[in-house]
Structure 1
């Protein structure tokens, strides 16, 4: 790490370095010395082909917020001695260094409805405060990341060209996905509906992307690699997908998958506490749809990868992506079964 630290004028022999967190995409370390703590991240440039686009986005957002909302906590990278936000080490990759927020912590799984509320509020606040940011200036860091039309096309291509034995095995899942193609059609309607606005969108609203204080109050959102122009359904949908069930997408026992309605209510209240005046009536009417959108898309992605012999996600055991797809289909079934009840929660009935 000597070459990285020298770019920040830090002396390696005065630093303690330890691996930090359990992120799947970027590798992270906590760096300590006698008077400061840092977070060092290696950007996965296999996933993010243009790390400089991430750096440009974060720089523009940081400058905007510092000017418009100077008290808002936004973690921007520390600049190198040559005034850069990222360090490129030839043959090693791209790295960035940030200050560690002391007395903060992250949560890997939502265990209390209050945590869901705080996270939803923070993601909503992030988008609201950036409502005046010129959206056309944001660069695309992951092309077509939440393009459901493209994901469905990739799914149909997998049905045509994929592993025939796996296609036969997956018939029940395939039938459910094709039967619910209306979710794709609704997405395509949104793209052409002026009531739906492109905004600064995080696109990865799992609970671990929020920093909490010692009292589990939200401090700020982190991991801004996927921040791009997008629709609110991406952020709300990912919260619904990852907060409502007590088990995650790796759970093999589908009987454990359920919809915790009080957690849905917390997402609605937290997000709307910030975004109520930002969203149109039609957008608000698609709040539950946001969950269907994200869960359906993730089911498609897992199943298409399974049919294509696990070329994208890989598999740690046989049929892992088949299990993941089935898990997400079950979660979508549960959400659809509870839709009327969730709508009553929104309406306060």
Structure 2
């Protein structure tokens, strides 16, 4: 039994899913930063129990309802052999609900896929290919799902115009000390209006899809037998979005040579072999269903995601570190500078990025 939560709370939660705590072995599962997740084993059942973080997800019913809709659609595709991965689905409570509420907190249960593992980083071109293809297949399988049916879990999550407004508000209220410390980064962001305008222009033309919005390698389950992806997990942020966001965030998290909070900016480089593998597999994973404008938007997405994250880090720094967890006073400023450097490197390689994206093969082989 893990000590992370009181025994008496779990003793109230588990019976609502049909189990007595005395019959369960409970261990912490994964290392997620948002929700507390547990593996529950009984004599005849193994499942996942998760406490939904209401500080991040202030409408938890929307999270569980969205997940039900996405999973149901993916199951239809899987049954029809048009989705090669395994859908993750939520188990029902004894009242046939997709959640339970105990002491004002929301809990849910999810089915468990055995003999699987997760990875924290990409270490090979082959891994890059299978990761990108899996996330593309996930989005492609949801291409005929009406994204308007999903709630926007985190409003304006990837809306650059809103992030700019929040940044401007932070500038207006920040102390002189913080403004001086961030002066160089502030000036650079303010000099990028042409890029900001280009994002506003293309988003008027892009189709909304159901996107995952957290396309890190640790949101894939891999088979211990085949070492291939089995399932896309963590559907909490599935909502209407653009493919350039998912692709850009995947590239941002997989291709730099240093961690996103490293201050050693001179050591930063981009692994273009990994980036090319990600690009080729991602485009192939749509099996010809990616429109031309979406394909071209991937070039902007590569630059957009570090640029937008740098604004979020800098905004939080100017606001006194209210959102992101920090371990020292200038942590968010270091993160902002790191992501701005990544954005600069991508901008410097615009021609190469364009060539990689536009020359990537498009698969016509059925998934």
Q: TM-score, normalised by structure 2?
A: 0.90
Aligned to 1:19: 28
Deviations 1:74-104 (A, max 9, x none): 111110110011111124x111111221111
Q: Distance in 1 between matches of 2:26 and 2:331?
A: 34
1:216 deviation in Å? 2.9
C-alpha spacing 1:256/1:10, structure 2 compared with 1 (3 Å): farther
DSSP 3-state at the match of 1:38: strand
Q: Distance in 1 between matches of 2:303 and 2:357?
A: 16
1:108 aligns with 2:117: no
C-alpha spacing 1:256/1:11, structure 2 compared with 1 (3 Å): farther
Residues 48, 109 of structure 2: 8 Å contact kept: yes
Aligned to 2:215: 205
Residues 299, 357 of structure 2: 8 Å contact kept: no
Q: Distance in 2 between matches of 1:282 and 1:81?
A: 47
Paired residues for 1:169-318 under 5 Å: 169-193=181-205, 196-214=206-224, 215-318=226-329
Q: Distance in 2 between matches of 1:105 and 1:19?
A: 14
Residues 78, 87 of structure 2: 8 Å contact kept: no
Which one of the candidate residues 145, 159, 175 is aligned to 1:163? Answer: 175
Deviations 1:282-315 (A, max 9, x none): 2212212101111111000000110111122142
Q: Which moved more, 1:103-112 or 1:318-327?
A: 103-112
Deviations 1:186-207 (A, max 9, x none): 22112322xx110011111111
DSSP 3-state at the match of 1:95: strand
Q: Distance in 1 between matches of 2:264 and 2:298?
A: 28
Q: Distance in 2 between matches of 1:29 and 1:113?
A: 32
Aligned to 2:64: 55
Which one of the candidate residues 121, 125, 137 is aligned to 2:149? Answer: 137
Residues 39, 100 of structure 1: 8 Å contact kept: yes
Residues 7, 81 of structure 1: 8 Å contact kept: yes
Deviations 1:39-82 (A, max 9, x none): 21111111111111111111122222333432541111110110
Q: Which runs of 4+ in 1 moved over 6 A?
A: none
DSSP 3-state at the match of 1:111: coil
Paired residues for 1:35-54 under 5 Å: 35-54=44-63
Aligned to 2:101: 88
1:348 deviation in Å? 4.2
Deviations 1:249-300 (A, max 9, x none): 1222223321100111111112111225222212212212101111111000
Residues 163, 309 of structure 1: 8 Å contact kept: no
Q: Distance in 2 between matches of 1:347 and 1:48?
A: 37
1:330 deviation in Å? 1.2
- Structure 2, unmatched stretches of 5+, are 1-9, 361-367
DSSP 3-state at the match of 1:66: helix
Residues 295, 357 of structure 2: 8 Å contact kept: no
Q: Distance in 2 between matches of 1:48 and 1:265?
A: 34
Deviations 1:12-36 (A, max 9, x none): 1222111121111111112223343
DSSP 3-state at the match of 2:38: strand
Q: Which moved more, 1:34-43 or 1:238-247?
A: 34-43
Aligned to 2:130: 118
- Structure 1, unmatched stretches of 5+, are none
Which one of the candidate residues 142, 146, 160 is aligned to 1:148? Answer: 160
DSSP 3-state at the match of 1:69: helix
1:112 deviation in Å? 1.8
DSSP 3-state at the match of 2:54: coil
Aligned length: 346
Q: TM-score, normalised by structure 1?
A: 0.94
